[in-house]
Chains A and B, each alone.
Chain A
C-alpha cells in the first residue's frame, strides 16, 4: 500500500513541506509519494493533505479561483487527514480575527470549530523560536518556529488542545484535522510529519 500525500501548492513554503514529508516517509519506512497540488483534480487523488504556511488571504482567494477549496472541504469531511500549518490552520478555522485590524473577511474552510487570532504574537520582529511540548501525541519536546504566528483564542466541543505556549493555544486536533501555529517544516525534526503520516496510514486501512 502506497500513500499519496499532497501539499497545497498555491502559495507559501510548499517545497519545505514536501522535503519534510519525504524524509518522514523514509524514516518510517512507509512507501508513498509526495506531490504539490493545485487543482481540484489533483486534490481528488490524495490520501492526506498539508496546507502549508504562507499568507492565508492569498491562499484562500486563489484556491477559491480554481475551485480546489470545495473539494478540499468535501474530502476532509469524508475523513481525509489534513495538517494545517500557520496560514493552513487559519484556513481550517471557522472565524479569523486579526489582532490589530479585527475581523477579516477572507475565504475559510470552516472545518475546525476554533476561533483564530491572526498575528497573535505580534509582527515579524516578535517572531520567535522556543521549545514546545505535545505530550498527548508523544512529542514531548519540539523546536517551535513561530513566524507572525496565529493562536487559537477559543475551541468548540470535541477539539483537543495539543499544545499551549504562554497560555496561548498553538496546536489543536479534532479527528482527522490537525492545526498548528508553528512551522515544523523549517526544522530538522520531522516527528510531527511522521505523526501525520501515521494518521494517514490509519485512515487508509
Chain B
C-alpha cells in the first residue's frame, strides 16, 4: 500500500479507458508514485548520448536522464539551457530497456507536453535548465506522465507534491562534483520531518496549521506527512555526487536512491565509475563493499570539483521560493 496523501482523484491527467477485459485507469497517483517506488535503492544517471545510456544500463542503473549537456557543461557554457533534442531522447528510448527520463524547464508547460508526447517515462522539472517561469511551476496533475521535482526543504517538497510531483529529489548544487549541498539539504528535510512528526504525536493541531500556513500548502497534506514522518513520495538525493563513497553517504542519511549528474560521464573512468556507484548505493551499509567500490575508481580521474561559495550561478535557488 502506498501513501496517497494529497492525491487528486479528479485530475485531468487521469485517463479512463475501456478495453476488452474491462475498464482501465491511467495516470493515477498509485501508478505515478508506484513507478517511483520501483526505482528505490537505485541510481539514475544523467546521459547525453545512446552510448552513455548503454553504459549506464550495463552498469545497473535503474533509469537514465537525458540532457543536452551534462550539468557541469551547462554551467561552463552559460546562456539558456533547454530540454534535450527529441531525436536523441527517442534514440535512447529505442536502445535501452530501463526507464528513460528527460528534463523540462521549470514552469515550461509546453516542453513538458512535448516530453509527454515523446513518451518518456518521467519528466524532471529541473533547476539545471533555465527556468521559463520563476513564479509558477507546471501543474503536474494535468499530465499522465509522472514528474520529479527538486526541493531544498520540507516546505518546498510539499509545494511540489501539492502541484502533482510523484517523486522528490533533494537538491544539491548541480555540476559541481561537490556533495556538500546535497548533504545539507537531505539533513534539513530529515530534521524538519522529525520535528513535524513530534508535533503530530503531541496532538497540537494549532502548530500544524501554523506550519501549513508557513509552508503555503494545505493542512491535510501537512497533517498526513506529519503522521507518516516521511515524505509521502519517494525521495532521492541529487547534485554533486561524484564517487561511490558520496553515494553511500547519502544513502546512509535515509535517501531512497541517487541521481548522478556530471559525476560519471565527466570523469575519465566513466564505465568503472558507473558500476562502482551502483554497487556502493546497493550495499551502502556494508563498509567492505563500499570500499571495494571506491577502489574501482581512481581519484585522479574524478571530475574537478567546484567550491560552492565561489559560484556565480546557484542553480538550487531556482524556483525555490515559489
A interface list, Cβ under 8 A from B:
9-16, 19-20, 38, 53-55, 57-58, 61-62, 65-66, 86-87, 98, 100-101, 104, 118-119, 122-132, 145, 147-148, 164-167, 183, 185-188
CB-based contact B22/A131 at 8 Å: yes
Provided the pairs A13-B37, A104-B97 are in contact, do residues A125 and B116 lie with their beta carbons within 8 angstroms? yes
- When chains A and B are docked, how far (Å) is the Cα of A13 from the Cα of B283? 16
User: Residues on B close to A: CB < 8 A?
Assistant: 1-2, 17, 19-28, 30-31, 34-35, 37-42, 57, 60-63, 93-99, 116, 119-122, 144-146, 278-279, 282-283, 289
- Whether the pair A11, B26 counts as a contact (CB closer than 8 A) is no
* Nearest chain A CB to B255 CB, angstrom units: 14
A125 touches B38 (CB 8 A): no
Q: Which residues from A are CB-within-8-Å of B279?
A: 62, 65
Cα A123 to Cα B41 with chains together (Å): 21
Question: Can you name the residue of chain B whose Cβ is closest to the Cβ of A53?
Answer: B38
Most buried by A among B26, B27, B31: B31
Nearest CB in chain A: distance from B241 CB, A: 17
Nearest CB of B to A102, in Å? 9
Closest to A129 in B: B25
B38 touches A87 (CB 8 A): yes
Q: Decide: B26 and A14 in contact? CB cutoff 8 A.
A: no
A127: chain B residues within 8 A (beta carbon): 26, 31, 34-35
Give 3 closest A-B pairs by Cβ, nearest first: A124-B121, A13-B37, A128-B24
A11 B24 Cβ-Cβ under 8 A: no
- Asked whether, in the complex, the Cβ of B95 is within 8 Å of the Cβ of A128, the reply is no
- B42, A148: Cβ atoms closer than 8 Å: no
Residues of chain B contacted by A65 (CB below 8 angstroms): 279
Q: With contacts A57-B57, A98-B97, A130-B22 known, is A125 near B144, CB below 8 A?
A: yes
A55 in complex: contacting residue of B62, B95, B116, CB < 8 Å: B62
Q: How far apart are the CA atoms of A159 and B310 in the complex, in Å?
A: 63
- B2–A119 touching, CB < 8 Å: no
Q: Contact check, A100 vs B94: say whether CB atoms are below 8 A apart.
A: yes
A100 to chain B, nearest CB (A): 6
Which chain A residues border B17 with CB–CB below 8 Å? 128
Which interface residue of B26, B97, B98, B282 has the most chain A CB atoms within 10 A?
A: B97
Q: With A57-B60, A58-B278, A186-B1 known to touch, is A11 a contact of B25 (CB < 8 Å)?
A: no
Name 21 interchain pairs, CB-CB below 8 A, sorted by A: A10-B41, A12-B38, A16-B1, A20-B1, A55-B39, A57-B57, A58-B42, A58-B62, A61-B60, A62-B60, A66-B283, A86-B38, A101-B95, A104-B97, A125-B144, A127-B26, A129-B25, A130-B21, A130-B22, A165-B21, A185-B1
> Which of A62, A101, A124 is close to B35, meaning CB atoms less than 8 Å apart?
A124
Which residues of chain A are within 8 angstroms of B24 by Cβ–Cβ distance? 128-130
Complex interface: chain A residues within 8 A of B30 (CB): 129, 145, 186-187
In the complex with contacts A10-B282, A11-B62, A16-B2, A145-B99 CB distance below 8 A: no
Q: Are A125 and B34 in contact (CB under 8 A)?
A: no
| B97:A119 contact, CB within 8 angstroms | yes
Whether A147 lies near B25 (C-beta < 8 A) is: no
Q: Are A11 and B22 in contact (CB under 8 A)?
A: no
Q: Contact at A118–B97, with CB atoms within 8 Å?
A: yes
Least CB distance, A134 to chain B, in whole angstroms: 13
Given contact pairs A16-B1, A57-B98, A166 touches B282 in the complex (Cβ within 8 A): no
Could you tell me the distance between the alpha carbons of A127 and B38 in the complex, rounded to whole angstroms?
13
Residues of chain A within 8 A of B40, CB atoms compared: 11-15, 54
* Cα separation A87 to B144 with both chains bound (whole Å): 23
